[in-house]
Amino acid sequence: MSLSYKTPGLIVTDHSFTVPLDHDAPQGETLEVFARELALPGGQERPFLVYLQGGPGYEAPRPVASPPSGWLGRALQDYRVLLLDQRGTGRSTPVGALPGRSAQQQADYLKHFRADAIVRDAELIRQALGAERWSILGQSFGGFCSLHYLSAFPESLEAALITGGLPPIDRPVEEVYAATYRRVLERNRTFYARYPQARARVRALLERLESEDVRLPSGDRLTARMFRQLGMGLGMSDGLEKLHYLLDFPPDSPAFLHDVQASLPFPRNPLYAIVHEACYADGGVTGWAAQRTLPAEFEEDPTLFTGEMVYPWMFEDYAALAPLREAAEILARHPWRRLYDAEVLARNTVPAAAAIYANDMYVEREFSEQTAAQVRGLQVWLTNEYEHNGLRADGPRIVSRLIDLAHGRV
């Protein structure tokens, strides 16, 4: 089903597609996947660029600028852009508590929301739209999806562009978290060096949260370990400042409590907590790797904020996640299939380019460089000019550079 309409400076077509929950059992349960096609007036026949959103568990961005700006405005100069609400997000069939299903049934449902299923959805959509091949732009987790696309369906791709999202190949998830924890520690040190007055404030807040029942607007009790998850934003270019100004509010104020809640996105995006570790699993079992590899520094110094990691206790502290606690335990023991085919990537012929951010807190630079070396023809732009949100901070430059790299113009 499709619906076309105009907004200032854009021709918009909303698409809805029916896809199997399990692509290996296409006659079984189905989902709806939503995608929004954008084109400049007169650009409706341009080739497709599919945007694969970061996350996991987040919908594609909504175009609000008029005319379109940022990376989207630049991309529309060359392409029609398809903003894909990956399965379980946005206007696609939502993932919530899954009432009426046993824990095992919930886990059997939720195991179908990794990059491999997202890419197979995209392939069905490509065929439905009549595109022989198309290009992809993957940001963060969208880069994980892009690398799987290059592994599984390279013949469907005109070009692959990746920013802040070249995942490790065939590397134990414990090593991934050990590396990213080191980056989180670095960002904590940078934060407290820039705002030394914040440490006493954080310590006082933590002591209060341990001794008092402080409630968020959602009704959840704000625990000390939840509060420390505010560090998940420290790897963005504006992350230090956002945390500083959040801590600047009086702790009893509605502004403080509402902003803390808004900075902890797990109730709004439960899929993130469910499949985050699994997205790093290029085969094997994750077994709550982030919890198992938590460095001693975080135990010894409670003022250290944690990063994007997911922990089993979250399915107790967040009421919205509690109905999925047993399913999450099952998935932590689930043997995941491989996501990347090293042999196919070594023979790659798809024009491809990736921006690797030297100090990325979320996707370890060393592992990304090792992956890049395994993808034939992949052009790399290694830069320390940006943090993980480079595409949002300076999208036109990054998209232009990746397009030029992929097509041999740099």
Q: Tell me, letter by letter, the H, E, C secondary structure of 132-162.
A: CCEEEEEECHHHHHHHHHHHHCHHHEEEEEE
Structure token digits, residue 327: 């399913």
Q: What is the enclosing helix (H) or strand (E) of 37? A: strand 30-39
Which residue, 130, 149, 151, is CA-closest to 51? Answer: 149
What are the residues whose beta carbons fall under 8 Å from the beta carbon of 133, sequence distance 6 or more? 155, 156, 157, 158
Question: CA 80 to CA 47: how far, in whole Å?
Answer: 6
Q: Using an 8 Å Cβ cutoff, are 218 and 258 in contact? A: no
Question: CA 237 to CA 77: how far, in whole Å?
Answer: 26
Where are any strands of DSSP class E within 255-357? 352-357
Omega before 67 within 30 of 0, i.e. cis: yes
394 backbone dihedrals φ, ψ, rounded to 5°: -150, 55
Omega before 47 within 30 of 0, i.e. cis: no
Give the other-Cβ count within 10 Å of 407's Cβ.
12
Q: Which amino acids are annotated catalytic? A: 140, 360, 388
CA distances from 257 to 209, 233, 251, 332 (A): 12, 17, 7, 31
Going across the sheet that includes 48-52, the strands are 2-7, 10-20, 30-39, 80-85, 48-52, 134-139, 157-163, 352-357, 378-383
What are the residues whose beta carbons fall under 8 Å from the beta carbon of 224, sequence distance 6 or more? 206, 209, 210, 302
